[in-house]
Amino acid sequence: MTIRQGLVVLMIVATTFTFSFGQEFRRFEMGTQTTMLRTRTGISDCGGCEASLWGIGPEFTFNLNRTFSLNSAFSVFPRESKGHGEFYGGSLTQLLSGVKASIRDSRLSFFAKARPGFASWSDAVRGVQMFPPGSVPSFTLLLGRRNFFTINLSGGFEYLVRPQVGLTVEMGETIIRRSNLTGIAQYGHDLQSSTGLHYHFGSLTSIERIKEDPHHRLFDRLNIGLLTMSLLAQTADAITTQRAQSHCRATNPQPVDPISGGCAALEANPIARPFVTHGWGGQIAVAGIVNTAQVAVMYGMHRMGYHRVERVPPIALTLGSIKGAYMNQQR
């Protein structure tokens, strides 16, 4: 599995609300967000293994229209690394700024974000200073700030608890480009989730929208066909994923970290990674979560009247699973 199927899991809750077909939204949103990033750090005893970091910071959104927005978030992770490496050391800060696409209703919005930015470690290894042979010590590490380019892809929902106060929940993947001291780049796929509280202000814009095809059923012939294709593609992805995992376990019999090390590194999707490394039981479990969330989000969009958009989740899952199966076959 290589696409971000897990992004829709947190959207299941949204289907419990009653939907209408119009919304008033304001141009600006300002708030605070707390975030969890599972990334390579020196906090754990193994040094350089993945660990969860918790951060907090401000977030700002400028709504260009009812669909597209500009979004920026700055996070400070106060917990410092115990060790120092090429890719970590000291404390971490993160800046993300990009676009946000939303599907809005009276009190609820689904959204997706694509935000490039930087992850910055305050005290990482920037070089090595060597001393003449026989000296004690023979070398010392040169420490300093190192910045790494990142892209955050996430999705979630916002619920307006008050007309101007919204609560957001989102989950996604942060792709970090790490370059070592020789200039060779490595790409990490790190899980990141966030919750936030936002205040909406500025000029008020009213949305008037006509419900599309009010007699359309959720499980019509087209949606059933799309769901069938999605299940077939996911099955191919699951079979090739477990084949790759079995081969890895056979050639690497030593115990491995199910989250970040050994055979787990074969799974690019950080959300599916903890499941697929446990064999077919974990594979079936994550498939159940993904497909339950898929149908739930389709139903939520159907109730909101976005009947064309409701067909996007199975198409995305189909394309992502086909790509995942292809990549697994290349191993």
- What's the rounded mean pLDDT across residues 177-195? 84
* pLDDT per residue as tens digits for the range 293-318: 888 888 877 877 777 778 888 888 88
Q: How many whole angstroms separate alpha carbon 175 and alpha carbon 186?
A: 10
* pLDDT per residue as tens digits for the range 278-298: 788 888 888 888 888 888 888
Angle of helix 312-329 versus helix 280-304 axis, rounded to 10: 150
- The 3-state DSSP class for residue 5 equals helix
* pLDDT per residue as tens digits for the range 202-255: 877 765 554 455 567 888 888 888 889 988 988 988 888 888 888 777 776 554
**Partner residues linked to 193 by β-bridges:** 36, 171
More confident residue, 309 or 17: 309
In sequence order, the 6+-apart residues with CB closer than 8 A to the CB of 16 are: none
- What's the rounded mean pLDDT across residues 36-44? 77
Statement: the pTM of the whole predicted model exceeds 0.85: no
Rg (CA), the chain: 22
Q: pLDDT tier at 262 (50, 70, 90 boundaries)? A: low
Domain residue spans of the chain: 22-208, 221-329
CATH number of 22-208: 2.40.160.20
In sequence order, the 6+-apart residues with CB closer than 8 A to the CB of 235 are: none
* Paired tokens of 195: 């919750």
More confident residue, 312 or 175: 175
Q: How many whole angstroms separate alpha carbon 294 and alpha carbon 5?
A: 8
Q: pLDDT tier at 199 (50, 70, 90 boundaries)? A: very high
* Paired tokens of 28: 């600006």
Q: How far is CA 192 from CA 78, 120, 162, 170, 180, in A?
A: 16, 16, 27, 9, 23
Q: What CA dihedral angle connects 302, 307, 308 and 310, to 10 degrees? A: 10
* Paired tokens of 75: 């996070």
Q: How many whole angstroms separate alpha carbon 293 and alpha carbon 276?
A: 18
Instruction: Inform me whether the pLDDT recorded for 82 exceeds 90.
Output: no
Instruction: Return the pLDDT at 19.
Output: 41
- What's the rounded mean pLDDT across residues 160-189? 86
* pLDDT per residue as tens digits for the range 127-167: 777 777 766 667 677 888 889 999 998 888 898 888 889 99
Q: How many whole angstroms separate alpha carbon 160 and alpha carbon 105?
A: 10
Instruction: Return the pLDDT at 47.
Output: 53
DSSP 8-state symbol, 299: H
Q: What mean pLDDT is reported for the chain?
A: 79
What one-character-per-residue DSSP string does 212-276 give?
A: S-TT--TT-HHHHHHHHHHHHHHHHHHHHHHHHHHHHHHH--S---TTTSGGGGG---TTTHHHH
Instruction: Return the pLDDT at 10.
Output: 38
* pLDDT per residue as tens digits for the range 106-120: 778 888 899 999 999
Q: How many whole angstroms separate alpha carbon 41 and alpha carbon 124?
A: 10
**Partner residues linked to 148 by β-bridges:** 119
In sequence order, the 6+-apart residues with CB closer than 8 A to the CB of 39 are: 50, 51, 53, 88, 92, 119, 174, 176, 188, 190
Q: How many whole angstroms separate alpha carbon 143 and alpha carbon 123?
A: 5
Query: Are 322 and 236 within 8 A, CB to CB?
Result: yes
Instruction: Return the pLDDT at 6.
Output: 42
Helix ranges, 129-220 (H): none
Q: How many whole angstroms separate alpha carbon 309 and alpha carbon 66?
A: 15
More confident residue, 254 or 99: 99
Q: How many whole angstroms separate alpha carbon 16 and alpha carbon 284?
A: 25
- What's the rounded mean pLDDT across residues 68-97? 89
Least confident stretch, 44-48, 65-69, 267-271: 44-48
Instruction: Return the pLDDT at 27.
Output: 87
* Paired tokens of 280: 């077919």
Instruction: Return the pLDDT at 321.
Output: 84
* Paired tokens of 44: 């754990």
